[in-house]
Amino acid sequence: MRNVLPSVLTIICVHATVLLSAAHPFFSYELFHTPADSFAPGVDLQSKAAIMAKFASTLNMEVSQKETPVIEAESFFDESPISDNMACVEGGTFVMGCFEGQGDCWETEKPAHVVIVKNFYISKYEVTQKQWRQIMGTSPSFFKNCDECPVEQVTWNEIQEFIKKLNAKTGKNYRLPTEAEWEFAAREGGKNITYANGKNTANDSEMNFNVGAALKNQTTPSPAAVHEFRQRTAPVGKSTPNKLGIYDMSGNVWEWCSDNYTIYTTTESEQSKDAESNTSKVMRGGSWKNAAPFCRTTSRNKEQPNKGNMLVGFRLAR
């Protein structure tokens, strides 16, 4: 495995996410509040995002003044085959969901809505079978004897226990990424990018997905280049990373997020109520068995937190 972690990280990343519905005229955050008339009637999403970006930059500046400017790099955990390898993602404002020019999207990705994401860390790799075994002492994966393949067949609930033990061992504050953080990172900081290889075309030499199934629908706006359907998980870090240096966010395994699943077609307050009543958890990214459309950066899935299968794994955030 290549060593991609610098000896010193010079940016402190802080987690906080604020969700703004496209239909919602204002939002509040601990450092600022936009008045109810901030957006005139008819202001489009891109303009709203630009307005919110100004507030976000101010917020990030205020936070940076409060935080220590340097963090020493640390190991993911002792004797890990992959050290910490957390990409530091600079937060910002983006339009989450089905973006303009993407082509056909599923209703679960609509409507697009403005989101502000604070600075955060996200792992460049999915958690491997070896890492899971070192912390949990078990080997739950369907695909055996591949230490550097992503662990799968793990439930959201089991991951919480893994994180608890990992944090106790390392003294860190690892967690699952939020859904907004996940999409923001997959899209290289909120760019209009269809796949997490940094492109609008899925290619099996750069992603692990079901290339044959992807081409059955010839109307797919971003067709796949066909070479090989691997029919299983692949070792992490072998795909083409995006510009943030993050691997396998399209294909290989679906990735659990921290959020309860909620639909986008409601106001912010209704989304919160929906999330509280819906016990399903969000999954993102598609898997080795899925066609290309399922592996898009805006594609969404859900599952009960006590269920898992050979298509589902995870990566960590801080």
The pTM for the full model equals 0.75
Tokens in use for 18?
């604020």
Number of independent structural domains in the chain: 1
168, part of any domain: yes
318, part of any domain: no
CATH code assigned at 60: 3.90.1580.10
48, part of any domain: yes
Which among 121, 113, 120, 122 has a CA at the least distance from the CA of 52? 113
Phi and psi at 230, nearest 5°, equal -70, -25
| Domain coverage including residue 295 | 9-313
Chain center to CA of 276 = 21
**What DSSP string describes 136-149?**
HS----SS-S-TTS
220, part of any domain: yes
Which among 178, 60, 55 has a CA at the least distance from the CA of 119? 60
Tokens in use for 9?
């990280």
185, part of any domain: yes
Tens of each residue's pLDDT in the chain, 318 residues? 443 333 333 333 433 333 333 333 222 222 233 333 334 445 565 655 565 555 444 444 333 333 323 233 344 444 443 456 999 999 999 999 998 877 789 999 999 999 999 999 999 999 999 999 999 999 999 999 999 999 999 999 999 999 999 999 999 999 999 999 999 999 999 999 999 999 999 988 899 999 876 454 444 434 444 456 788 999 999 999 999 999 999 999 999 999 999 998 656 666 666 666 679 999 999 999 999 999 999 999 999 999 999 999 999 999
pLDDT tens sequence across 267-277: 666 666 666 66
pLDDT tens sequence across 4-44: 333 333 333 433 333 333 333 222 222 233 333 334 445 56
